[in-house]
Structure 1
Amino acid sequence: MKSTDMSQTRIGDLGAEIFCRQFRDQNSNDLTTLRHTKFQMMITENLSKLDPRLLPPTPRPSYYHSLRVHLQVVRWLQLDDCLLDEKEWGWEVWPHGLRPIMTDLPAAPEEVLTFVRCKCKRLNNRCGNHQCSCVKHGLNCVEACGGCHGRDCDNCPSGIPQDDDDDDGDDVQ
């Protein structure tokens, strides 16, 4: 990452790979998938200690961070502030100097920012009435829901309960 002729895209890809390795994922440089996997692990392990600061960054903040790191490394190695333009490497001009670009996208989709999930027990409520927080908010159950996981309830996305473990022989081929 110390070359002055590497593209921003290549630097961003290398940065994502480094972040994935930092989070113990040697097989991929897909931060979105890794972030989802780590989030699911957090939910499974202990919901009361869900701390988003422990998740890998999303791709765009990682990209801009990697650009800024590359710029700094090149400057330190070459001892030249003029080799690369800050505005092309993760910085924007503000009245009192430069400011880092954190991201150029929203932090999360609106649906995630207003995230609701239920904790209905599979046998007691099957998410079929307003006791279910998803139903109460007019949302379908999702994979992160407690008992149903968005698959085995009356409020799954398709609207039809999806019990795969029935053995009554009436499956359509």
Structure 2
Amino acid sequence: MSSYKSTTLIGEDTDLLILLLYHAKVKDCKDIYFRSDISTPYVYNIGVLKQLLSDRVCVDLLFTHAFTGCDTTSRIFGIGKKPCFQRNIKDDSVLRSCSTVICSPKNDKVAVENAGSRAMISLFGGNQSDSLESMRYSLLCKKVATAKTFVTPERLPPTASATKFHSLRTHYQIMVWMGTSEGMDPTEWGWDVHCERLVPIMMDKSPAPDILLQMIHCNCSAGCNTLRCSCRKHGMDFTSACGRCQDSNCDNMSQEPISDEEEQD
């Protein structure tokens, strides 16, 4: 319709705005507007927005919206759309390269998984030399050592396994939006069929080794030589997550303390 007259699309879904910004051909159509259907509506001129943002950013918006959570992909706990969008506006090199891979049709699963992992590490403030496993472990140890209450696991970066399936679903959703998903089987891109319905595959590995899930730490200042020490009480040796006893003689240590690098290995 917009090819021969000014057109307004009325709706509330963010997907509609993202799709208009990606698909609208500013030079080949009349004015297109997107209006929210509320008592005090917002009206967006798609042509003006697209010129302000640039075609590159409008493509990256598909990645930003899907990767940070849309109707078919999970929201990343603690990571909002606004910071990711602002980094795209500033042409962040890491997110830009990850977006290029995940938004490219006919890409293989390994490339998509690797790009998704890199993007997740970047969004959580890690270096590209880091891995999600090392980031989760380091952050868990820091939180356990300093926390006064239970450490909530959702505040850790997602596991590599969860990120893999999240990235596959993101790629598949973007291909649907771009109109290039023909021939793609969703069960090969992060989905499974249960009771004739598609359900997301969350992980194919445990979120952490069993010993780590049972981690107990202490903040003893008297040598850890009685059952008042929570580690000794539960039959566990000193760990790097323990607090004050690291700076004094610990009687619950089966071996000499090892460095952080050795412990990661």
TM-score, structure 1 normalization: 0.78
Question: 2:215 corresponds to which residue?
Answer: 115
Contact 2:191/2:199 (<8 A) preserved = yes
State the AA in 2 paired with 1:139. Answer: M
1:87 aligned onto 2:187: yes
Distance 1:96 1:53 in 2: 30
Shift of 1:135: 1.0
Counterparts of 2:144 and 2:214, CA distance in 1: 17
* 8 Å CA contact 2:105, 2:180 repeated in 1: no
* Secondary structure at 1:92 match in 2: strand
- Residue 199 (structure 2) aligns with: 99
Q: Which amino acid aligns with 1:106?
A: S
Bigger Rg, structure 1 or 2 = 2
Q: Is 2:111 aligned against 1:7?
A: no
Residue pair 1:127, 1:153 contacting (<8 A) in 2 also? yes
SS in 2 for 1:48: coil
Which aligned pairs between 1:6-155 and structure 2 lie closer than 5 A?
Answer: 6-43=107-144, 46-48=147-149, 50-77=151-178, 79-121=179-221, 124=222, 126-149=223-246, 152-155=249-252
Identify if the C-alpha distance between structure 1 residues 112 and 41 changes in structure 2 by more than 3 Å, giving closer, same or farther.
closer
Deviation of 1:80 (Å) = 4.6
Single out whichever of 67-76 and 29-38 deviates more from structure 2: 29-38
Instruction: Assess, with a 3 A threshold, how the Cα gap between structure 1 residues 5 and 127 changes in structure 2: closer, same or farther.
Output: same
| C-alpha distance 107-139 of structure 1, shift in aligned 2 (>3 A) | same
Task: Report the 3-state secondary structure (helix = DSSP H, G, I; strand = E; otherwise coil) of the residue aligned with 1:26.
Answer: coil
Residues 129-169 of structure 1, C-alpha deviations (whole Å, 9 max, x = no match): 222111111111111012234995121242xx66xxxxxxx
Please tell me the residue identity of whatever aligns with 2:211: E
Large movers: runs of 4+ above 6 Å: none
Identity of aligned residues (%): 31
Return the structure number with greater relative CO, CA threshold 8 A, min gap 6: 1
Match of 2:260 in 1: none
C-alpha separation between the residues in 2 aligned to 1:38 and 1:114? 16
Contact 1:20 1:28 in 2 (8 A): no
CA RMSD of aligned residues (A): 2.3
Task: Measure how far apart 1:55 and its partner are.
Answer: 1.4
Q: Distance in 2 between matches of 1:93 and 1:120?
A: 51
**Alignment-mate amino acid for residue 139 of structure 2:** K
| Uncovered stretches (5+) of structure 2, i.e. residues with no partner | 1-101, 258-265
Q: Cα gap change, 1:150/1:8 in structure 2, threshold over 3 Å: closer, same or farther? A: farther
Distance 1:42 1:61, change over 3 A: same
C-alpha distance in structure 1 between counterparts of 2:122 and 2:160, whole Å = 14
TM-score, length basis structure 2: 0.53
Relative to structure 1, is the Cα distance of residues 4 and 59 closer, same or farther in structure 2, using a 3 angstrom cutoff?
A: same
CA separation of 1:40 and 1:117: change in aligned 2, threshold 3 A:
closer
**Amino acid corresponding to residue 129 of structure 1 in structure 2:** T
